[in-house]
Structure 1
Amino acid sequence: MPWRALRQFGQRLLCGVAALGVVWATPHVAYGEPLPGSAQPQFQRAFNSWLDDDEAQAIPALAGLAQDGNGAARALLGLIDKTSALQGPWITALSRADRILALRAPGGLSGRNWMTLAAPDSAYARLWTLLWQLDGGLEIAQAFVALDDPRAVNEALVTLASRREGGFPADVLGADWFPASLSYLVEGWPDVAGAAGAPHPGDPQQRMAGHAINDGDLMDWLAQSALAVPLRQVCAVECPDQPAACSLALYQGLGSYPALAVTGSPVAQLVPTEDFFKTPRGRASLARRIMLMRSARMREADLVRLGDVSSCASEWLRGEYGRYAYSLPTVPLPVD
């Protein structure tokens, strides 16, 4: 099992995370509404503007709501601040000082992540702060399951696994909450899973066990796996004539199975993954995540390589990359 590579990926997920204030002892605390303020008409208008990729309208509106105590705006801004893939051209063009004003609460040398201020009133926000503070274990992922947020579950598990020298205990495979899509994170997998735990022949987890998979089987897996919903939704809109090849190209663009596992709706309680990637911001976030996987110097060569798999996907990515041309970094940024 490639634990060194997994730890490196988990470290990239956590890159840039600073100390976040008070550390809570356990996530098992009763709360009311998971995201207070999500039903407010003002928040819904700002959120819909963000989904439409109108950051210039949405981000200032969300910041104003966060200042007024809206928990949903605080949680969403907190995730945007921590997740480079969710930051579009308008945000990335801001100066550092303006970006701090747009995405963070006042305080400290460079502002405070809004999630910390949402945490006292929101179980969802509190779980993120626990994960970012390295305070807790599998109970964090299990609590995200209870909140019905699959991407948060996966990110918690990938992050937690990156901190371990070995995999999770084998008995976690028997837990009804643990996702089969991350079975490879369990110590001794696949031997401890038995015949019932055998994955699809195209499941990339096969590679974690040292088995080769061919592109045909991988494409078949991409056509049906829940993890690949973001790829299928983007391809349905951008490349409807090449759906299978497009999904394969985008998966290769992401560069790793863990990167796909943590791709999804930023907040499932606000928008399911299937719907998020139908929106302009959702589709743009996938392109930016792929873009940030490699340096500016390597992007063109990579687009040529992906073009051999799907010319449509490659050209779509090229257009998305061009939206950041004025502010492209010369080295890869941390992928959250």
Structure 2
Amino acid sequence: MTWRIWAIAIGLTLAVAGLPLASSSDRFETAVSLWLDGDDAGALPEFADLAQQGHALARILLAQIELMDKGPSQFRRNLTPDQARALFRRSSTDGGPATSWLAVEDQQGNALARALRASRFPDVQPELIDELREMGEAQATDYPTRILALYGTSEDRRALLKSDALLPELRPYLLYLENNPELQGDGIYVLRHITGLGDMIDGADEDTRGIAGLLALGYGYGDTNPDNRWHATVTDWIMTDEATRPIADLCRGECGAQAGACGFALTALTGGYFEVIRLDSPLETVIPQDTFLSSPRARLMALRRAAFTRAETAGPRASIREIAEMSQCAADLVAQARSGGL
């Protein structure tokens, strides 16, 4: 039974029984709660049905989830391409390609949809960063900020570094690209940022370069040895920072006294600092970032990202044995996720 037939069948059953049909707002709120609980099978078909009925926020949220869910569930991984398109997009009436609901809402004059859609283009758009912030979609400024840092002028970068619109966690990326280059500078600027030590950190010593490589690119590119003098500092940041809360909460709940080693391992597997900070609410207008980061969905997404992410060079994923060298508890969690158990 497809999700459309299922939705129609439920509606007919309620109507025949004389029971009131839930309002679209109630259905939407219920679907959001299901999604935050990690229930894609319950949430996504409901979002899709509401989108077909013209629910603007359901349309935008569904489009955002399609592209932003970096740890797809077993339900999503089991969808065929045709099923995925039918679930997430508006089907064409003339046999053409399915259309993203974000594009549909943009074409209908929805300002939020227009801004979110514009945020996906690789153009330098400093005004868009301000606009998204004013709309309450701070996390959506991540990609436009990275594009400005890479391709904008020095004046663009300096202006954003002074702006309240800048996501604090992206400050080291801008500083790295704005200032004089240094060996493994991206990771060193991250270390300076998370420790608050700034230029007191010298990138010349082996321990600093080792942890900088891991912070910049993740597992396989830096030092995972607990004897590294920065290992405990980075672990403390992982277990206390807002951006890494899903990993910290997951590891505390599953690993007890070994939570810190688990957090370090999952951060390394995710690809380091610049990837681990990208676990964001798909639509803060509906799901505030704090609510998202505290949810089962965020914890599941964090684990699946760590379990299925490949190295920067698209090589093979870390083996369970290799992960166990960092944390046996993390290895057990990743093994469970890879087997489809989570």
Q: Shift of residue 299 of structure 1?
A: 3.2
User: What does residue 142 of structure 1 align with?
Assistant: 130
- 2:57 corresponds, among 69, 72, 75, to 72
What residue ranges of structure 1 are gaps of 5+ in the alignment?
1-37, 192-197, 326-336
Bigger fraction of residues in helix:
2
- 2:43 corresponds, among 48, 58, 62, to 58
> Which runs of structure 2 are paired with 1:90-129 in the superposition (5 Å)?
90-107=75-92, 109-119=96-106, 120=108, 122-129=110-117
Counterparts of 2:263 and 2:279, CA distance in 1: 14
- 1:158 corresponds, among 141, 146, 168, to 146
Counterparts of 1:168 and 1:89, CA distance in 2: 42
User: What does residue 270 of structure 1 align with?
Assistant: 286
Scaled by the length of structure 2, what TM-score is found?
A: 0.70
User: What does residue 234 of structure 1 align with?
Assistant: 250
- 2:174 corresponds, among 157, 162, 185, to 185
Counterparts of 2:65 and 2:196, CA distance in 1: 33
Deviations 1:85-111 (A, max 9, x none): 253111221111111101111237431
Q: Secondary structure at the match of 2:326?
A: coil
Q: Which amino acid in 1 is paired with 2:166?
A: F
Contact 1:56–1:90 at 8 Å: present in 2 too?
Answer: yes
Q: Shift of residue 40 of structure 1?
A: 0.9
User: What does residue 195 of structure 2 align with?
Assistant: 201
Counterparts of 1:318 and 1:291, CA distance in 2: 8
User: What does residue 159 of structure 2 align with?
Assistant: 171
State the superposition RMSD in angstroms. 3.5
Contact 1:233–1:277 at 8 Å: present in 2 too?
Answer: no
User: What does residue 314 of structure 1 align with?
Assistant: 331
Deviations 1:238-286 (A, max 9, x none): 3343332222111101113221222122222322334324433322222
Q: Which amino acid in 2 is paired with 1:298?
A: P
How many residue pairs align between the two structures?
A: 282
Counterparts of 2:198 and 2:53, CA distance in 1: 45
- Identical-pair percentage: 24
Contact 1:204–1:218 at 8 Å: present in 2 too?
Answer: no
Contact 1:190–1:209 at 8 Å: present in 2 too?
Answer: no
Q: Shift of residue 220 of structure 1?
A: 2.3
Q: Shift of residue 218 of structure 1?
A: 0.9
Q: Which amino acid in 2 is paired with 1:294?
A: R
Counterparts of 1:167 and 1:262, CA distance in 2: 25
Which ranges of 4 or more aligned residues in structure 1 deviate by more than 4 Å? 162-168, 202-211
- Relative to structure 1, is the Cα distance of residues 111 and 144 closer, same or farther in structure 2, using a 3 angstrom cutoff? same
| Structure of greater Rg | 2
Q: Shift of residue 61 of structure 1?
A: 1.0
Contact 1:144–1:150 at 8 Å: present in 2 too?
Answer: yes
Counterparts of 1:171 and 1:223, CA distance in 2: 32
Counterparts of 1:151 and 1:228, CA distance in 2: 14
Deviations 1:177-213 (A, max 9, x none): 223321222443489xxxxxx6343899999977534
Counterparts of 1:208 and 1:40, CA distance in 2: 55
- Relative to structure 1, is the Cα distance of residues 204 and 270 closer, same or farther in structure 2, using a 3 angstrom cutoff? farther
Scaled by the length of structure 1, what TM-score is found?
A: 0.71
Contact 2:120–2:144 at 8 Å: present in 1 too?
Answer: no
Say which structure, 1 or 2, has more relative contact order (CA 8 Å, 6+ apart).
1
Q: Shift of residue 65 of structure 1?
A: 0.3
What residue ranges of structure 2 are gaps of 5+ in the alignment?
1-22, 182-191, 212-229
Counterparts of 1:41 and 1:148, CA distance in 2: 23
- Relative to structure 1, is the Cα distance of residues 185 and 297 closer, same or farther in structure 2, using a 3 angstrom cutoff? closer
Counterparts of 2:101 and 2:203, CA distance in 1: 40
Contact 1:148–1:269 at 8 Å: present in 2 too?
Answer: yes
Q: Which amino acid in 2 is paired with 1:175?
A: S
- Relative to structure 1, is the Cα distance of residues 237 and 138 closer, same or farther in structure 2, using a 3 angstrom cutoff? farther
User: What does residue 298 of structure 1 align with?
Assistant: 316
Q: Which amino acid in 2 is paired with 1:199?
A: H
Deviations 1:109-148 (A, max 9, x none): 4311111123345443221211224455122222222233
